[in-house]
Amino acid sequence: MNWAEFFSMGGRGAFVWGSYGAFALAVVIEIALLVRRTRKGRENP
Amino acid sequence: MKIYRYASPTLFYPLAGALWPWFAGFAAILGAVGLYMSFFVAPTDFQQGEVYRIIFIHVPSAWMGMFIYLVMAFYGVLALSFNTRISAMMMHALAPTGAMFTFIALLTGALWGRPTWGTYWIWDARMTSTLILLFLYLGFMALTHAIDDTRRADRAGALLAIVGSVNIPIIYFSVKWWNSLHQSTSVSPGTAPKMAQIMLITMLVMVFACWAYSIAMALVRVRALIREREAGAVLEGTQ
């Protein structure tokens, strides 16, 4: 498979990768916030 | 085993602690499989080309956004009628994840709409009602944070969750009730799915990944809430 072709997504790469990127970012942010909340709760019970 | 005993936060705490790693694991495995299928197994769509691949995160996010709100409303009913603390805590534990999925559904919808419809956004029935869903989530979180008394905050939040759930059928049926730019339902109970089987399977794998993720997040968050609210209580399996 041609990777350049894969990343271009038929010329719609920005939309496809933008969507998947935003989803990944949202999941990472949610997990990070929850980890921080959990740590905070453990440190100051 | 009496399931009701887990309505006690101190007993639910270790149960949630034992369960969440399983759901997190399922989410990771299903997510990896689903992403692989999204890009390497599902074929190019004959009408929309490659951009349709957004469906594999757009539809699961939209479903989770709606479903989590219904679950919140259900816990709201339990919290108001039985006054169980854990039900109210589950509402709070679910809201941020539901808001996240609704936001992603709107954003991926805009990014999908631009190349296929020629616009990021219009004030169409489905999009507007989904935006209202996001505001309901944000409103729930803002309202419950604004009230200092926990019991009053829980009651107000439960009421908002229940009243707001009227919006869910509006979102779901909006493409039937009104002329909408949004494409009509491709997958619904009782009818054959209007999409290729491999695309449908890929989407369902992503849906289950999102389910497992949501359950894991809600369980971890409810544990954080129990620690915050039940300070001083003896929590089994605190690690």
Q: Which of A5, A15, A29 to mutate to test the interface with B (most CBs of B within 10 A)?
A: A15
Residue A28 with chain B: CB contacts under 8 Å: none
**Nearest chain A CA: its distance from B89 CA (Å):** 15
Residue contact A19–B231, C-beta within 8 A: no
Residue B107 with chain A: CB contacts under 8 Å: 19, 22
Residue B66, class by beta-carbon neighbours within 10 Å (0-12 exposed, 13-18 middle, 19+ buried)? buried
- Give the model's pLDDT for residue A25: 97
Residue A19 with chain B: CB contacts under 8 Å: 54, 57-58, 107-108, 111-112
DSSP secondary structure string for all residues of B77-107:
HHHHHH--HHHHHHHHHHHHHHHHHHHHHHH
What ipTM goes with this model? Answer: 0.91
Residue contact A15–B115, C-beta within 8 A: yes
Of the candidates B50, B220, B221, the beta carbon closest to that of A16 is on B50
Q: Each residue's pLDDT tens digit in chain B (239 positions)?
A: 566 777 788 889 999 999 999 999 999 999 999 999 999 998 888 888 888 899 999 999 999 999 999 999 999 999 999 988 899 999 999 999 999 999 999 999 999 988 888 889 989 899 999 999 999 999 999 999 999 999 999 999 999 999 999 999 999 998 888 877 787 777 777 777 777 888 999 999 999 999 999 999 999 999 999 988 887 666 655 54
Residue A31 with chain B: CB contacts under 8 Å: 217
Residue A20 with chain B: CB contacts under 8 Å: 54, 57
**Helices and strands (H, E) in chain B, number of each type:** 7, 0
Q: Which residue of B has its CA nearest to A31?
A: B217
Residue contact A12–B115, C-beta within 8 A: yes
Instruction: List Cβ<8 Å contacts ≥24 apart for B229-236.
Output: B229/B9, B229/B85, B229/B89, B229/B150, B230/B9, B230/B10, B230/B13, B231/A45, B233/B9, B233/B10, B234/B10, B235/B10, B235/B13, B235/B14, B236/B10, B236/B11, B236/B13, B236/B14
Residue contact A23–B108, C-beta within 8 A: yes
